[in-house]
Amino acid sequence: MKAIPIASAGGPEVLELKGHCDEAGLISVWSLTCMLCGLERTHRAKTGIFRSMPGRGTVLNESREFGNFRRRRLMYQPSSRFMKYKRRAHWSAITLLTVFGFLSHCFGQVNTTTADHEPNSSSALPTASGTADLSDNGLPDDPSAGSAEDPQKSANGQNDSAGIPLSGNFFQRLGQFYLQDWNGTSVTTALPPKRGLPAPINSPPFPFSDWGYGGSPDIGAPDGNTYPLLSALKFESSRTKIYGWIAPSINFSTSGHNNFPVSYDIFPNKVELNQAVVYVERLPNTVQNSHFDWGFHLTGFYGIDYRFTTAKGYFSQQLLLFNRQYGFDPVLEYLDLYFPVKEGLDIRIGRFLSVPGIEAQLAPNNYNMTHSLLYTIDPFTDTGIYGTLKLNKQWTVQLGMSGGHDVALWTPDAKPSAIACLNYSTKSNNDNFYGCANGINDGKYAYNNLQDYDFTWYHKFSSKWHTATETWYMYERDVPNVAGNVTNPIMPETGANGAFCAPGELRCTAPEYAVVNYINRDINSKLMFGFRSDFLNDKKGQRTGIAGKYTENTLYATKYIGNTVMFRPELRFDHSWDQRGYNGGRSRNQFFFGMDVIYKF
């Protein structure tokens, strides 16, 4: 039901509770509950699970022959006592989420009445700040950037207009926030203009409105974020913000043992909880360029996707020692220091996402549900210090040092590693070029010690069409030979794959290269679709566990309900050209259909 303001002499209009739920609310709550119940039933099954390696390769759950080499069997077999407590925890979470959603929908029904107080103009639409670092944002981009089609519209496609302010208790305000968001009647507030080039695309329906660069907030973009939870708590004006999302998914695959190298949905034909994420952050004010400011970011990340984000030394025993299906990872913890140098200088210190690339670890920041082959096996996080200097509106330079990829500084695998990137946009911002040398050191074999050279190109064809292309070349040196063709082979490090070297070589260099292309179409402010094509050549099998060439093609769409709910269905076909690279070494081909639902709070 859409609330319509009605003129009254008694005072401003405010929201009033209604004692019933609408059908759409009940259906959405029921759908979420069913997916979570399916996840619980799936999780209770004692099935074999394979471990995702730091380079996103796997140790398979079935023994496989590679000449004389035989991979060891890994089984996920929790104790009955462990399963009893886990079942209780999962059902408690399901019950709480169901009640939470029910109350939000039921008590969020709105009506108009009069009141004698002034409306609260601080409630704003749940739009994100426009940070170019896609890792740092779970909601669509900054409304201040405007629409690529109509500068009079905000990035969500709605005309800026005053909505009805939130009122009542926590659950009432929360429900009202969602209903206003879904009906397009949210209160909006004016933001200072962005310092920089105009936004080339719309967000939504795309996950960002500006071409991205990693390791920094979008220098010059205002922080216009307002989130459901903060608004319900009446903290919408606070610069320190708490928000997040849950992202369950379902997939159907022709593979019966595993979907890898599809990611993150590696478990076939299941309902799963990919991510349950909570952010606590304060963004530095980079719109001004006159004084110092600061920010920070903390992340709590739980789900099956932790198997890919895990870095050695950050609670990594969950995966490397216990091989748990679900786990927790503090993916991002960093401090941002902003200085008024040139067009803005940001220095980031802590654990941050590996800087280059189109895709990101956090679900809402991607075009679609699954990830490309290119992304699946490249580095995920670094710990160190990283500087981003915006020279002018078109040029940005970045330099930093880390301890290497996917390792904490206190682990023996850490070693000083250089990061250097250069970003350039044309004056029209229709083209963007981003090149990085990432994690550069001696390149000797260690936990995910990849030497990564990455290049990304974005191009806007028109107001409706754009493309994104990324390619990289990576390698490690002195990787132990696991091909079974040498005497006294060297045992690889736990969680770090070996390579299939030539006969007689104890170690060898393991290179790989890949390229991915996205073509995307903006249908309207709440719907987009796209097509992804992807090629990977894992020459020594060090990233996937099976040497050879791989391709994938994916057709996908994203549908927004307001700005807080996303449905992302996709149809995907994978093929391995040289060996049977899918379904645990049993198949060359794999058909995959999946969909996730992202519910933001």
What pLDDT does 237 receive? 86
What pLDDT does 163 receive? 67
pLDDT digits (tens, 9 = 90+) for 171-196: 999 999 999 999 988 877 788 888 99
Residue 470: C-alpha distances to residues 215, 362, 532 (Å): 18, 18, 11
| pLDDT higher than 60, residue 579 | yes
- DSSP line for 66-103: ETTEEPPP------HHHHHHHHHHHHHHHHHHHHHHHH
d(CA 137, CA 244): 9
Q: Which residue, 483, 420, 414, is CA-closest to 449?
A: 414
Residue 17 Cα to chain centre, angstroms: 36
Q: Which residue, 272, 243, 122, 148, is CA-closest to 202?
A: 148
What pLDDT does 129 receive? 35
Q: Locate 254 and state its tokens.
A: 């022709």
532 within 8 A of 374, measured Cβ to Cβ:
no
What pLDDT does 226 receive? 83
> Using 50, 70 and 90 to split pLDDT, how confident is the model at 546?
very high
- The larger pLDDT score, comparing residue 1 to residue 486, is at 486
In the three-class reduction of DSSP (H, G, I as helix; E, B as strand; rest coil), residue 486 is classed as coil
Q: Locate 428 and state its tokens.
A: 């029209």
> Using 50, 70 and 90 to split pLDDT, how confident is the model at 223?
confident
d(CA 22, CA 30): 12
pLDDT digits (tens, 9 = 90+) for 9-59: 333 333 333 333 444 444 444 444 444 444 444 444 333 333 333 343 333
pLDDT digits (tens, 9 = 90+) for 37-49: 444 444 443 333 3
d(CA 422, CA 563): 32
pTM confidence score: 0.78
What pLDDT does 111 receive? 36
Domain 241-600 has CATH 3.40.50.300: no
Q: What is the mean pLDDT of the chain?
A: 80
d(CA 118, CA 12): 7
> Half-sphere exposure of 270 toward its Cβ, with a 13 Å CA cutoff?
24
What pLDDT does 188 receive? 77
What pLDDT does 228 receive? 95
Instruction: Determine the average pLDDT of the residues in 551-556.
Output: 98
d(CA 227, CA 28): 19
What pLDDT does 122 receive? 31
Residue 169: C-alpha distances to residues 2, 20, 112, 505, 555 (Å): 20, 17, 17, 69, 43
Q: Give, rounded to a whole angstrom, the gap between the first and last alpha carbons of the chain.
A: 21
pLDDT digits (tens, 9 = 90+) for 72-126: 223 333 444 444 444 444 444 444 444 444 444 444 443 333 233 332 333 334 3
| pLDDT higher than 60, residue 141 | no
Q: How many CB atoms lie within 10 A of CB 237?
A: 12
Angle at which helix 170-183 crosses helix 80-106, to 10 degrees, equals: 70
Using DSSP bridges, classify how beta strands 507-524 and 417-425 pair: parallel, antiparallel or unpaired.
unpaired
Using DSSP bridges, classify how beta strands 58-59 and 65-66 pair: parallel, antiparallel or unpaired.
unpaired
Share of the chain above pLDDT 90, in %: 69
What pLDDT does 65 receive? 26
Mean pLDDT is lowest, of 116-120, 162-166, 211-215, 227-231, for 116-120
Instruction: Determine the average pLDDT of the residues in 214-223.
Output: 93
d(CA 2, CA 32): 23
What pLDDT does 106 receive? 45
d(CA 242, CA 600): 11
d(CA 215, CA 549): 31
